[in-house]
Chains A and B, each alone.
Chain A
Amino acid sequence: MNDGTAGSTPMPVIATKSRRPFSAWTAYSAAVSLILIFAVVTPVLICLWGSFTTLSTMGAASTLSGAGWETQKSLGIYASGARETTGPFTLLWYAYVFEVYGHTIGLSFKLAATSILVTIVLGVFGGYGLVRYDFPGKALLEEIISIPLSLPGISIAVALLGTYGIIRDSWTIILFGHLLYTLPFMLQSVTSTLRSYNFFELERAAASLGANWFQRLRYILLPNLRHAIIIGSLLVFTISLGEFNASFLLTTPINLTLPASLYDTYTNDSFQVSSAATSVFMLVVIPVLMAIQFMGGKEMKEVGQAA
């Protein structure tokens, strides 16, 4: 942008605040906004409430008999009504979720952590190469990189099952799907930072002063990319944790991710247990999301794949 190369976008004009008085349009917008807030917040709150309640609500009994849970006292096959034992609120549902689906939380975290590591390596080096150099086929590569943003998860799951069926029982096949959907975001984060300021002149100056490649990497590239890497990592974490469309076909009863296990709870367990499982997910992901927002992640709007 500063080097005046062709194709740079015009400097954005800072939008001035409207000086018009409170118009009908503003009233309408405000009303719609309130409805949206209500629509977004209410289901989340109900879910959180459901995760603690012992009320027999949503038509399903509040007992944990939906999955043969026993009380600690006896090896009776079904639990008696939780309401009789613990009052209006209980942590039983969470305890159950952790006992039966705890390993899925572990796997999801493992996948997310691995995704973060791999995308940092691929993203930093790849992003550097994409911004720094011109080479034949660069435009094509950039298009290919952006395909996962719109590619349906189930398509790639079918493709991966076909090609990598041999490693079907390993968690790495799920990792492939996650990496495919998270890498473009790390790349975006890195490249937009690299593009936005005079990074290469710094590098050139350092090189002329005798810094070798590794020193340039360590003292110039990485420190300046720190913010981009952090935001990218949070994005990768969120996407990986929530990935369902591709993961669902790739999971096996041994390797079950958290969202896939949520599907099990929705079809098999009571509203309370489902809410507890969902709340676990929400309580992990929503704070990360807020963190990205407040750190100024503009890339959020393109998180494409989670439906």
Chain B
Amino acid sequence: MFAKDRIAPLFYILPLIVFFMAVMVYPFVDMMIHGLFPSQEMIEVSGASEVAARTLGWRDLTFGNYIAVFTDPFYRSSLVLSLVLSAVVSALSIALCIGPAWLLVRRDFPGKRAFRAILTIPMAFSGIIIGFLAVIMIGRIGFIPQLTRWLVGVPVGEALAYSLTGLGIAYIWFQIPRATLTLESAIRKFDWDLDSAARSLGASNWQALRYVLLPLLTPAIVSTVAVTFAVSMGSFGVALLLLKKASVFPLEIYNQIYANLAFEMAGAMSVVLGVITVGINYALRKYAERYYAHVVARG
């Protein structure tokens, strides 16, 4: 083999390690620690003097910010809203896109390549653009309400964009390419012989679906959920433009920085958001892998 085999990996890997340490790991840990400092509000409540006049020491460290994320109804409700919204959007995206994904794998039709290409368009856009497009389509004077008013006299979906439903629709729109492509590549890996074998043994459509297709499909669905859930949790731009009364968690973080001085609180919230999102994503991915290895690969 090559000489210097021990040092060689380090030579190639070191820049990577340095990069991720400097840009991700260290700032994140730094933020975690800063989240332990009391925010201005906490100081005012506890009656201590102004932050500006006093330097905070080790004695002041507290988990107060982190606890507040989960106990203060204001923050907790936005966290719960983010979680619920992300879960619902993931489920609906998959339900919506499994049909087209199946079509892409199992049927040939003219314009198939263009069809797939068109479906990937939403992926190019960042959140605020999607918010803008949502306002165009289902805002108070959006295209769809105007069209339906012209056609049938009743404006359908007027101002829908500003409600939670509209936000969810915008999220789903954004997930269309991701869900479709992930499902497509998973379906493509199917061993259809298993399906034919089951049927030749007399299984009905329903049984084939339940005992063959669904287990085959589960890892695909779970890993798609992993991605769509994480993206929805982190989604900020769409909510920034559309949500005016309710609030999702990333938006609250933004409010803390933008309007208040509560940088520590924002940091604590960012840590919580990061840990929850990455954690759930990791867990789902690992589950999908193990499911695949244990259930699917064994046939």
Give yes or no for direct A-B contact (beta carbon below 8 Å). Answer: yes
- Give me the interface of A with B, judged by CB distance under 8 Å: 10, 12-13, 15-18, 25-26, 28-30, 32-33, 36-37, 39-44, 46-47, 50, 58-59, 121-122, 125-126, 128-130, 132-133, 135, 141, 143-145, 147-156, 158-164, 176, 179-180, 183, 207, 238, 242-245, 248-249, 259, 262-263, 266, 271, 274, 278, 281-282, 285-286, 288-290, 293-294, 298, 300-307
CB distance from A268 to the nearest CB of B (A): 13
Other contacts beyond A37-B115, A160-B27: 15, CB < 8 A: A12-B188, A126-B16, A133-B12, A150-B278, A152-B236, A153-B236, A159-B267, A180-B24, A259-B126, A293-B117, A300-B123, A306-B125, A306-B231, A307-B127, A307-B231
* 8 Å CB contact of A156 from B27, B117, B230, B235: B27
A15 to B176, CA, bound (A): 23
Instruction: Report whether B253 and A158 are in contact in the complex, using a CB–CB cutoff of 8 Å.
Output: yes
Q: Does B247 contact A (CB under 8 A)?
A: no
**What are 22 pairs between A and B in contact, CB < 8 Å?**
A29-B99, A32-B99, A36-B119, A40-B119, A47-B133, A50-B136, A122-B16, A133-B8, A133-B9, A152-B230, A154-B273, A155-B31, A159-B24, A162-B267, A180-B24, A259-B129, A259-B237, A274-B132, A300-B177, A301-B178, A305-B234, A306-B127
Q: Known interface pairs A39-B173, A162-B263. Does A152 touch B13 (Cβ–Cβ under 8 Å)? A: no
Chain A residue at minimal CB-CB distance from B254? A154
- Which of B44-52, B65-73, B189-197 lies on the face that meets chain A? B189-197
Cβ–Cβ contact B133 & A149, under 8 A = no
A125 and B15 CA atoms in complex are apart in Å by 8
Residues of A within 8 A of B16 (CB): 122, 125-126, 129-130, 141, 145
Interface size of B by CB at 8 A reads 104
Determine whether the beta carbon of A266 is less than 8 Å from that of B132. Answer: yes
Report the minimum CB–CB distance from A145 to chain B (whole Å). Answer: 7
Residues of A within 8 A of B193 (CB): 13
For residue A165, which residue of chain B has the nearest CB? B263
* Option from B126, B132, B190 in Cβ contact (under 8 Å) with A306: B126
| Pick from A12, A249, A262, A300: contact of B189, CB under 8 Å | A12
Interface residue B266 (Cβ < 8 Å from any Cβ of A) = yes
Which residues from A are CB-within-8-Å of B132? 47, 262, 266, 274, 278
CB under 8 Å from chain A, chain B span 265-279: 266-267, 270-271, 273-274, 277-278
On B, residues with C-beta under 8 Å from A are 2, 5, 8-13, 15-17, 19-20, 23-28, 30-31, 34, 96-97, 99-100, 102-103, 105-108, 113, 115-137, 141, 143, 171, 173-174, 176-178, 180-182, 185, 187-193, 226-227, 230-238, 240-241, 250, 253-254, 257, 263, 266-267, 270-271, 273-274, 277-278, 281-282, 297
- Contact A245 to B250, CB < 8 A, known contacts A150-B277, A266-B132, A293-B120: yes
B30 touches A163 (CB 8 A): yes
Complex CA gap A167/B185 in Å reads 43
Q: Which residues of B contact A143 (CB under 8 A)?
A: 282
Are B253 and A154 within 8 A (Cβ)? yes
Shortest Cβ gap from B145 to chain A (Å): 12
Sorted nearest first, the 3 A-B pairs with minimum C-beta distance are: A129-B12, A152-B234, A29-B99
The contact of A300 among B106, B120, B125, B237, by CB within 8 Å, is: B120
In the complex, residue of chain B having the shortest beta-carbon distance to the beta carbon of A57: B141
Q: Provide the bound-state CA to CA distance between A153 and B141, in Å.
A: 31
Q: How far is the CA of A259 from the CA of B129 in the complex (A)?
A: 8
Distance, CA A301 to CA B178, complexed state (A): 5
A59 to B124, Cβ gap below 8 A?
no
Nearest CB in chain B to that of A163: its residue: B27
Q: Are B174 and A40 in contact (CB under 8 A)?
A: no
> Which residues of chain A are within 8 angstroms of B99 by Cβ–Cβ distance?
25, 28-30, 32-33
CB distance from A48 to the nearest CB of B (A): 11
Which residues of the partner chain A approach B250 to less than 8 Å between Cβ atoms? 152, 154, 245
For the complex formed, measure the closest distance between the CB of A199 and the CB atoms of chain B, giving whole angstroms. Answer: 14
**Nearest neighbor of B280 in chain A, beta-carbon distance:** A150
Q: Please tell me which one of the listed residues A15, A17, A293 contacts residue B116 in the complex, with CB atoms under 8 A apart.
A: A293
Residues of A within 8 A of B27 (CB): 156, 159-160, 162-164
Chain A residue contacts of B141, Cβ below 8 A: 58-59
Chain B residues near A266 (CB-CB < 8 A): 128, 131-132, 135, 241
Whether A122 contacts B227 by the Cβ 8 Å rule is no
Which of A30, A179, A285, A304 sits near B227, CB closer than 8 Å?
A: A304
Checking B11, B121, B297 against A10 with a beta-carbon cut-off of 8 angstroms, the contacting residue is: B297
Residues of B within 8 A of A121 (CB): 15
Q: Are A248 and B177 in contact (CB under 8 A)?
A: no
CB distance from B278 to the nearest CB of A (A): 5
Interfacial chain A residues near B297, Cβ < 8 Å = 10
Q: Pick the contact of A298 from B13, B100, B119, B185 — CB < 8 Å?
A: B185
Report the bound CA distance from A282 to B277 in whole Å.
Answer: 29
A26→B119 contact, CB < 8 A: no
